[in-house]
Structure 1
Amino acid sequence: MNEKRSLSKFGFFSMTASLFITVYEYPTFANSGKSLIFFLLLCGLFWFLPVALCSAELATVKGYQEGGIFSWVGKNLGVKFGFAAIFFQWFQITVGFVTMIYFIIGTLSDVFNWPALNSNLWIKFAAVLIVFWVLTLLQFNGTQVTEKIAKYGFSIGIIVPVLVMFGLVVKYLIAGNPVSTNFSSSSFLPNKTHIGALVSFVLAYMGVEASAPHITELEEPKKNYPMIMLVLVVVGMVLSTIGGSVVSIVLKGNISSNSGVVDAFKVLLPHNNLLVMMLGILISFGVMAQVSSWIVSPTEGLQFVATEGLLPPTFEKKNKAGVPVPLLILQGILVSIWAAVLTFGSGSSGGNIAFQTAISLTVVIYLCAYLLFFISYFVLIYKKKNLQRDYQVPGGIVCKTILAGCGFLMSVSAIITAFIRPSGMSVSDGKIYLWTLAISLLITLDIPFLIYSFYGKKHQKVEGDNHENDEGRV
């Protein structure tokens, strides 16, 4: 086993951090003004912390290390639910890739003063395909390549820009510049009209568990994985709070979701276009690192699922570098289809019903995986207390229940808020949006169970839905 472990602590930390810590959501946060601090603290303490700590315990249970969320859920709730969890985790990011690359395109279009890159639909579509497929092909060389991209992308594409933003806004305020009404006129506690933003802030922390399939490659995973999870909670909350607050403080009026971060740098550096361009490029590289990490992490979990017989044998295959190439190709085809649908279906505005439905769908689908995750954790702590594990959430059964309960309730609340009509959308469009979202969700929820019923159940190599990990008992 040791020869497989090729990820350093910082490499694993960077890969995991780049899965969820990003600058592309700062403009969305900024629209909430001071309430962004409330939402980030709320979701950080009552959702992100439960996910991180429960993941740390589940990941160190003997026999649960391989397969990530598939094993965590499957060994406690049954194989079909484990398959549904890993499917939801993977499916949501196939849409998420497009939105992340949209941010990259919007940023580069702004810093290079090339409007057509973001406004011409054919150029935009081609740019999405080029960025995604180049990053996909780079992953064919193995986890070490992904680790390097994540290290440099997180360090110079996220940490550096956020620290620069913080230093510049301090200088900006000391110089007596006014604070935007977006920030100054808002309150710390959100009002009823802002409650729909909850789902966006939960999205800010999603994905911390997606690196779990790489645990066996981490140095001393039993010791280091829980420690890394705790550090990620603090770093994620701090960086998101700083980034979102800076954008809200310096920008007035409507904040562009694509160019909001670069617009903030333009205000903070009014006479230094070269530095703004450099920071824009660094930010784009940081988001590319996030795309790279997401390309490989969920597919590793799906490859493990294939080895259990739940997917056709083709998807078991790996190349010499240990990369599940058939799954990456399938993923790339699906992302290319989404890119066409979203680009040409949403038009240059990027804000119509089709686009907003797709974004909301990614969130609620992923939250369904988290509901299964927390239910599985309850089964672990109540019905499988004797399973051997190397990390325990502190505080005993009472604290574990409260912690997981908070995460579960926050997930349910976020799903509910996703079905609130977005502000700025007309009532008639809102009805179409809500019906489309509801029907799309129901259809998507059925897919993994249909795959399991018609293929996986007949070919699975494990013992069925009541399979338990008896080897892990003390």
Structure 2
Amino acid sequence: MTKDKSKSLTLFGFFAITASMVMTVYEYPSFATSKLSAIFFTLLGGIFWFLPTALVSAEMASVDGWNDGGVFGWVGNSLHSKKIGFFALFFQWFQITVGFVTMSYFIIGILSNVFNWPALNNNPVLKFVGVLVIFGIITALQLGGTKYTATIARWGFVIGILLMSVIFFGLAIAYLAQGNPVQIQFSWHALIPDFSKTGTLTIFATFILAFVGVEASASHINELEKPEKNYPLAMIILVILAIVLDAAGGLAVATVIPQKTLSLNGGIYQTFKVLLLHFMPHGTWLLNILVLLITLGVIAEIGSWVVGPSRALQVSTEYGLLPKVFKKTNKHDVPVPILVAQSVMVVIWDAILTFGGGKEGNISFLVATTLTTLLYLVCYFCMYAAYFTLIFKYPNMKRSYNVPGGKFGKIVFAFFGTVTSIFTFVVSFFPPSALPTSAAKHTYLVVLTVCFVIGLIIPIVITSFEKHYTKGVENEIKHLSFEKNNK
């Protein structure tokens, strides 16, 4: 039997794409703000949200006929509504158009330190152009198809995440083993967060957000070798690795850098500088090399997100939910028109974030990042609603993977995932402690609410023109395969 050439992703290649969408070294400083409680929050978020979401994604992706378009296929088929499926997919895609900008900011921050060019990070015009150049180059690299995406993800994950994490943790352990000052208290009392303090719940939301995206690579499942075996295996490995690395990474930063001087944007550079120069006083050249290698992990994350939801959006055009122009692909099966539309959104967000920051706590930036959270959670609400429908209404649907524990286990995992999602959604409306005045907090809530409502309306408006999109091509439009598969 000849090998199916369409199955171009190995277990490791698929795992690398998924891991690069979820795991990033640059988030460690955010985790470090909770000090020793980073362990508590990571375990709580990992067990009660990340693990359920990964397992539920694995089962829904393995249902016969549901692997077309990721969450679009899962939600659309289970709820038997292609519009609701599109809503879930739209929110999954829309949130990352903001994320592209913030990830590019991290790369710009590293480059400004390495090349001693503060203006790159401080001058709005240079920063705006820098984001466009970084995102443009990474997007162009994805035009060659999945094999290039997998290659970038593989090297970015191995070098920018795994290797840098090993070096990072090794230096931190050696530093602490020498008896150098520890910036946090190690005790059972310090392990449990003080929920009486303002901002504690908001910090928990940050940990949950660090895990989002585990389901986004499902649009590549048709290209994965032995998906019925490799998909759930990749998810389980990812859950364990992400929990361990995120907890250890946040703890390492917290023990080395004092909270008062910790920079959320430059915390990794700060920590690497303290650790490396402690052992190599003249090792600035090596420091620059290491932090540049970290950017490979971020580049891999951007590259994986460029094609993941975009490819799924291209599938939705085949069901008449977007104009047929977005159905077009290049010779490598990459949906170029969708990437163009995505790039336009990134330009808009780049302008808003770079030029629209308010004087009081940069309200525009905080609203945009929180809006990302809220929109993504809507996607997860749709996904969990679809999974509960699958459990209770269609338990006999053929699938190659089941969440462990039988029906009871499925209900328990789905329950915890749903409740944690609702909790995170509510907490996201709590004004961050970074806002210094009550007026700023009021503005934050008003702008956030308005933007969120507009975000909810956009996909409704898009799908309202479905008859226009399908005019003249009705016979080419696909229909949900649920009824056929359920017979």
- Using the size of structure 2 for normalisation, the TM-score is 0.93
Query: Which residue in the other structure is 1:8 paired with?
Result: 10
CA RMSD of aligned residues (A): 1.8
Cα drift, residue 457 of structure 1: 8.8
61-70 or 438-447: bigger deviation: 438-447
| Helix, strand or coil at the partner of 1:3 | coil
The runs of 5 or more residues in structure 1 that have no matched partner are none
Structure 1 position 215 matched with structure 2 position 252? no
Aligned to 2:76: 74
- Counterpart of 1:263 in structure 2 is 270
1:155 aligns with 2:158: yes
Say if 1:306 and 1:315, in contact at 8 Å, map to a contact too.
yes
Counterpart of 2:432, as a letter, is P
| 1:277 to 2:288 alignment | yes
CA distance in 2, matches of 1:292, 1:390: 29
**Distance change >3 Å, CA 50–CA 183, structure 1 → 2:** same
For 1:19-30, what aligned pairs fall within 5 Å after superposition?
19-30=21-32
Deviation at 1:435, TM superposition (A): 1.2
Distance 2:340 2:61 in 1: 28
What is the rounded CA distance, in whole Å, between the counterparts of 1:382 and 1:181 in structure 2? 48
SS in 2 for 1:389: coil
- 1:382 and 2:358 correspond: no
Please give the alpha-carbon distance, in whole angstroms, between the structure 2 residues aligned to 1:350 and 1:246.
31
> Equivalent residue of 2:144, what SS?
coil
Q: CA separation in 1, counterparts of 2:469 and 2:120?
A: 48
Q: Distance in 2 between matches of 1:65 and 1:327?
A: 20
Equivalent-residue separation in structure 1 for 2:4 and 2:89 (angstroms)? 26
Normalising by structure 1, we get a TM-score of 0.96
User: Within 2, Cα distance between the matches of 1:316 and 1:445?
Assistant: 24
Alignment of 1:471 with 2:484, yes or no, is yes
CA contact (8 A) 1:107 1:258 kept: no
Name which of 399, 406, 412 aligns with 1:402: 412
Secondary structure at 1:201 match in 2: helix
Query: Residue 328 of structure 2: which of 317, 327, 332 is its match?
Result: 317
Take 2:447 and 2:186, find their aligned partners in 1: how far apart are those partners?
34
What's the secondary structure of 1:211's corresponding residue?
helix
Does residue 250 (structure 1) correspond to residue 256 (structure 2)? The answer is: yes
Shift of 1:191: 1.7
CA distance in 1, matches of 2:235, 2:82: 26
Q: 2:329 & 2:46 partners in 1: Cα distance?
A: 36
SS at match of 1:25: helix
Alignment partner for residue 420 of structure 1, among 430, 448, 471?
A: 430
**Do 2:76 and 2:86's aligned partners in 1 also have CA atoms closer than 8 Å?**
yes
The correspondence of residues 58-73 of structure 1 with structure 2, limited to 5 A, is 58-73=60-75
For 1:457 and 1:367, the matched residues in 2 are separated by: 30
Distance 1:462 1:379 in 2: 23
Runs of 4+ in 1 over 4 A off after TM superposition: 182-186
1:247-270 C-alpha deviation (Å, 9 max, x unpaired): 111001242122100100111112
Aligned length: 470
Secondary structure of 1:4's partner?
coil
Partners of 1:319 and 1:203 in 2: how far apart?
A: 33
- After superposition, the C-alpha distances for 1:342-373 in whole angstroms (9 at most, x for unaligned) are 101127x8951110000000011001100111
Paired residue for 1:44? 46
Q: Are the counterparts in 1 of residues 63 and 397 from structure 2 also a CA contact under 8 Å?
A: yes
In structure 2, the gaps of 5 or more residues are none
CA distance in 2, matches of 1:195, 1:414: 9
SS at match of 2:216: coil
Identical-pair percentage: 47
Shift of 1:404: 0.4
Q: Contact 2:83/2:321 (CA < 8 Å) preserved in 1?
A: no
Partner secondary structure for residue 137 of structure 2: helix
Map of 1:50-449 to 2, 5 A cutoff? 50-77=52-79, 78-181=81-184, 187-192=190-195, 193=197, 194-252=200-258, 253-270=260-277, 271=281, 272-346=283-357, 351-425=361-435, 426-449=437-460
**Counterparts of 2:328 and 2:254 in 1: how far apart (Å)?**
47
